[in-house]
Structure 1
Amino acid sequence: MRGVRGLLVVAVLVAGCGQLSDTHHRPGNSHEVATAPPRAVSGEVAVPITIARGQVSPPSGWVEIRKGQPVAITVTSDVADELHVHGYDVEADLLAGKAVTVRFTADVAGVFQVETHENKLVLTQLAVK
């Protein structure tokens, strides 16, 4: 069973951007995009990510989130790009040298990839339980 679950995760990751977005599209999902410094929100999961010279820091991994918990992903990139949170259909323009924060409530269980579109970097994965 464990091997099947691992294959499923790999299959989802290999499926790519369009497939995940189409499969998990959520019209009307509310989210906030801000270029001002992030403000702390009680109980919020803060996910700070930096992209420099094509490298993601911290290295891409998993962030575990409780279903219903607010999430703030702050990305600072040295090049312009587009941020995409799969499953929540949250997108934001990344501006070179500027921190961009997207906020939303993780109200759907599953594993969702966070990536950039232009440079096709996987930033992290959200495991919502």
Structure 2
Amino acid sequence: MDGNGSTTSAPTDDAPSRSAAPESVTSSAPSGEVLEVIVDGSSISPNGATLDLKVGEPLSITFKADRAGELHVHSRPEQVISFEAGTTTEQLIIDNPGAVDVEEHETGAVIAQLAVR
């Protein structure tokens, strides 16, 4: 304690050092498959793209949208992916094999059909 009744601690030599940039920031592309979804009002693309995935393989979905919305992923269990207006990226992982439709909720458009093996 110091003379004012409070404790102070001095830095120790065994404290981890801080680097200028966090190690988790990388400039590499996402691993796994990538699906780009463009939402322009009620116009959605792609429409019925087919992708082959392995169970547990990540699928990065990049949204370029003029409105918010959501995708319904008809997997087991079903999943919902929300997106906002602008450009965003979400990751999808399917844990069970089978045919999986990915549908844009507002329009009902089937954006992609995934063959998960």
Say whether the fold is shared (TM-score over 0.5).
yes
Map of 1:111 onto structure 2: 99
Alpha-carbon deviation of 1:109?
0.6
> How is 1:28-47 mapped onto 2 (pairs within 5 angstroms)?
40-42=29-31, 44-47=32-35
Alpha-carbon deviation of 1:128?
0.5
Query: Of the candidates 45, 59, 72, which is equivalent to residue 71 of structure 1?
Result: 59
Asked whether the 8 Å contact 1:116–1:123 carries over to 2, the reply is yes
Query: Number of aligned pairs?
Result: 89
Alpha-carbon deviation of 1:67?
2.1
Structure with the greater alpha carbon radius of gyration: 2
Whole-Å separation in 2 of the counterparts to 1:115 and 1:78:
17
1:95 counterpart = 2:79: no
Q: 1:59/1:104 Cα in 2 relative to 1: closer, same or farther (>3 Å)?
A: closer
SS in 1 for 2:96: coil
Q: Which runs of 5+ in 1 are unaligned?
A: 1-38
Alpha-carbon deviation of 1:101?
2.3
Compute the RMSD of aligned alpha carbons.
2.1
Whole-Å separation in 2 of the counterparts to 1:125 and 1:82:
16
TM-score after normalising by structure 1: 0.57
Deviations 1:18-46 (A, max 9, x none): xxxxxxxxxxxxxxxxxxxxx7333x111
Alpha-carbon deviation of 1:107?
2.3
Whole-Å separation in 1 of the counterparts to 2:94 and 2:29:
17
Asked whether the 8 Å contact 2:102–2:113 carries over to 1, the reply is yes
The residue type equivalent to 2:78 in the other structure is: D
Deviations 1:64-92 (A, max 9, x none): 11223121122222222222222153323
Give the share of equivalent positions with the same residue, in percent: 31
